[in-house]
């Protein structure tokens, strides 16, 4: 491969800044003139085989909707003037993920994020296919980023993370095996030997989860990442001295808390206790007068009562008062 330099055009890209030069590949920050955005461009010093290149291109076409905050997307793969290239999403100020010398409880947030991301990918019918520590990086804020989805090359340097029965078809079972190998490495400090995991010092449920993830047979390998997360989370909490601290998630402020009302004073005077307030009595009297007026003045249909001739009169004799009725 001819030496590349800044400002040079390569295919649809303009090379901006050389990020790294390695034995197998050079990495550049470049401008994709078709996308009109900066990308991470890998230029391979040895051509990628036509079969591998076709597999990568097929995966890129299938994974157009694979958009996730922890996934570094792959945009393009091809060959120009005998130079194979792969362009990926550019993430500023990334670095390798540091796992050495850390306890499992310290690594658990990263492992948990990895499980979530794989579960999302698998729910779309996709898989990474070549998961290893080399595909795990962190951005400038410390967030996990996963690179290399669908990219499986012949020069991969992490054989301990490759499923023994992996074939040309990328399968979620391959990701589960790699995840198990990574957890095994963190918990035991040893790389996984296929068929001989070293988990004797771990709790039984953790052993069972790891053994289930690194089964040689794809058919016997666990696919239940929710169960994996549950067991590993419980174990991380058990060895984390701060796990018993419960965060206060209440949004109530001290002055917004319910106030305890003082008890009503006890009335020792019986007459005072039975006294009806004047305002209540006045309102009651007004209501009674209003009802009486309504009954005597209005009839149903809002008609007034017409007074007729008296039905009878009262006769008052001189000696004796008697009541006589006058006929009409």
Residues 6+ away with beta carbon under 8 Å from 31: 13, 14, 16, 37, 38, 39
Q: Which range (8-12, 131-135, 313-317) has the least confidence?
A: 313-317
Indicate if 51 and 116 belong to the same structural domain: no
Sheet of 74-80: strand order equals: 9-10, 13-21, 25-32, 37-44, 83-89, 74-80
Q: How do residues 111-125 score in pLDDT, each as one tens digit? A: 999 999 999 999 999
Looking at 62, 90, 118, which one is the last position of a domain? 90
What is the percent of the chain where pLDDT is above 70? 75
pLDDT at 243 over 60: no
Query: 48 and 160: one domain?
Result: no
Statement to judge: residues 166 and 220 lie in one domain: yes
- Total domains, the chain: 2
Mean pLDDT for the stretch of residues 235-249: 59
Number of Cβ atoms within 10 Å of the Cβ of 68: 15
CATH number of the domain within which 235 lies: 1.10.510.10
Note whether 11 and 82 are same-domain residues: yes
34 and 109, same structural domain? no
Residue-level pLDDT at 100: 81
- Is 141 part of a structural domain of the chain? yes
**71 and 109, same domain (yes or no):** no
Q: With a cut of 50, say whether residue 265 has pLDDT above it.
A: no
In angstroms, the CA 217 to CA 222 distance is 10
Tens digits of residue pLDDT in 36-79:
999 999 999 999 999 999 999 999 999 988 999 999 999 999 99
Residue 121, domain member (yes or no): yes
CATH code of the domain in which 8 resides: 3.30.200.20
Spatial contact of 183 and 232, defined as CB atoms under 8 Å apart: yes
The region of weakest confidence among 22-26, 83-87, 256-260, 320-324 is: 256-260
Which domain does 113 fall in, by range? 93-240
Confidence of residue 296 (pLDDT cuts 50, 70, 90): low
| Residue 165 vs residue 253, higher pLDDT | 165
CA Rg value for the chain: 43
114 in any annotated domain: yes
């Amino acid at each position: 491969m001819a030496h590349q330099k800044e400002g040079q055009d390569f295919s649809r890209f303009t090379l901006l800044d050389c990020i790294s030069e390695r034995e197998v590949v050079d990495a550049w920050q470049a401008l994709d003139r078709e996308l009109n955005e900066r990308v991470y461009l890998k230029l391979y010093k040895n051509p990628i085989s036509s079969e591998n290149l076709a597999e990568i291109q097929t995966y890129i076409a299938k994974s157009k909707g694979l958009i996730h905050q922890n996934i570094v997307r792959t945009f393009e793969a091809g060959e120009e003037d005998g130079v194979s290239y792969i362009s990926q999403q550019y993430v500023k100020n990334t670095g390798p993920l540091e796992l050495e010398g850390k306890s499992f409880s310290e690594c658990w947030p990263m492992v948990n994020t990895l499980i979530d991301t794989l579960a999302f990918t698998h729910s779309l019918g996709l898989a990474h296919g070549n998961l290893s520590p080399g595909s795990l990086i962190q951005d400038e804020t410390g967030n996990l980023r996963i690179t290399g989805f669908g990219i499986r090359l012949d020069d991969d340097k992490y054989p301990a993370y490759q499923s023994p029965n992996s074939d040309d078809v990328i399968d979620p079972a391959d990701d589960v095996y790699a995840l198990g190998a990574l957890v095994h490495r963190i918990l035991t400090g040893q790389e996984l030997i296929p068929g001989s995991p070293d988990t004797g010092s771990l709790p039984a449920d953790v052993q069972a989860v790891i053994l289930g993830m690194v089964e040689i047979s794809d058919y016997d390998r666990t696919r239940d990442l929710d169960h994996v997360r549950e067991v590993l989370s419980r174990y991380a909490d058990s060895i984390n001295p701060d796990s018993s601290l419960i965060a206060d998630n209440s949004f109530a402020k001290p002055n917004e808390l319910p106030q305890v009302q003082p008890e009503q004073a006890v009335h020792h005077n019986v007459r005072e206790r039975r006294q009806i307030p004047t305002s209540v009595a006045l309102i009651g009297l007004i209501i009674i007068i209003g009802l009486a007026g309504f009954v005597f003045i209005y009839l149903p249909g809002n008609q007034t009562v017409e007074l007729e001739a008296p039905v009878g009169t009262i006769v008052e004799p001189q000696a004796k008062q008697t009541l006589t009725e006058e006929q009409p």
